[in-house]
Amino acid sequence: MLAFTRAAVADLNDKARGALQEKQWLDQENIIRAGFERELMISSGERLLFRQNDKALGVRNGDLGTVRAIDNNQLHVQLDSGEQVSIPKSYHAIDYGYALTVHKSQGMTAEHAKVLIDSKFWDRHLSFVAMTRHKQSLKVYADKVNHPDLNALKQTLSRSITKDNVIDWPLDFATRCGFDPDKLIGRVVNHLAGVASNIKDKYNYVLNYESHQQNQAFQKLEQGIREKRTIIKETVPDKAAFDQLKKGYPILAQYEQAVEQRKKLSGYFAEKKDKEIRLIVKTMIENKTLNQAIQENILIYTRGYKLI
């Protein structure tokens, strides 16, 4: 079973364990062990997830296993890889392994997978990972509060998020999957530094052609402003004149405010603000009168208004 949030995963684990106890598929004798985030009741037959590397014990972060016996508070576990390990009471980085977060499931495969869409903030990346873990069957579950119909569910599962830098998402994703971010950055930063700009341009082009075209047009407008600025004598910036320009064209102030707000946002709210900014930019590009005013007041604009 897979879900996005830890809260949903914890709830699924508890429900799964309760169902197994009712069917007597777990041993009736339990011991209490300190787990990764809470105390766990553990029986023979229990499925466990290991959350921390320990070379001495022979376990790695993300390993799954089944408790075969409990002896003097030691857990004798058979890992899914086939290895037999003994886990002492001092090792606390364990949790139930009936359900996992989507990020933790990266790289795993199972015969059957059941995916709970536990949030309306899913996106296409989560969907891809969650729905490629199975070999034989896949079942998807969603609530009708966040997804009243099939179209709403499709929209959630295919939602796209473009961050400020296109390399943020894979790096963030790799880190949440258990990779050492420092070592990971050390390996790829030189390569990414050379191609990140090109990747971002192509990424924007594929995901949102219209937005890409608008961005290109706005960049062209900025370039024209910069070129004209180099051939005009510098003058003392006139803040009053710039404020007057914004007063005559409120959309400049609206754009300025939206950009400042965007800097403080992330995730769903950042994506929403990005759409708002794109609409403002489109309006600015299509407004010939505004463009003419900018050209006529080039120094006021470039010195009074910070371009992005």
132 assigned to some structural domain: yes
Position with higher pLDDT, 74 vs 281: 74
Considering its fold, how many domains does the chain have in total?
Answer: 4
- Residues 254 and 282 occupy one common structural domain: yes
List pLDDT tens digits, range 232-251.
Answer: 444 444 566 667 777 777 88
- Residues 220 and 261 occupy one common structural domain: yes
List pLDDT tens digits, range 105-142.
Answer: 988 888 999 999 988 778 888 888 999 898 999 999 99
Query: Which residue segment(s) compose the domain that 80 sits in?
Result: 2-101
253 assigned to some structural domain: yes
**CA dihedral angle for residue 104, residue 109, residue 114, residue 119, rounded to 10 degrees:** 30
Residue ending a domain, among 203, 228, 257, is 203
162 assigned to some structural domain: no
Query: Is-contact 23 30, C-beta < 8 A?
Result: no
- Residues 73 and 119 occupy one common structural domain: no
List pLDDT tens digits, range 256-295.
Answer: 888 888 887 766 677 778 888 888 888 877 888 877 776 6
The CA distances from residue 148 to 154, 181, 206, in Å, are: 11, 39, 29
163 assigned to some structural domain: no
- Residues 6 and 97 occupy one common structural domain: yes
Distance CA 174, CA 169 (A): 8
Mean of all residue pLDDT scores within the chain? 76
118 assigned to some structural domain: yes
**Which residue type is seen at 292?**
Q
Residue 46, domain CATH: 2.30.30.940
CA nearest neighbour of 78 among 104, 48, 98: 48
- Residues 196 and 256 occupy one common structural domain: no
CA nearest neighbour of 283 among 244, 255, 307, 258: 255
- Residues 235 and 277 occupy one common structural domain: yes
Q: pTM of the prediction?
A: 0.53
Annotate 56-81 with b (16+ C-beta within 10 A) or e (fewer): ebbbeebbbbebeebeeeebebebee
Distance CA 54, CA 85 (A): 11
Distance CA 205, CA 220 (A): 16
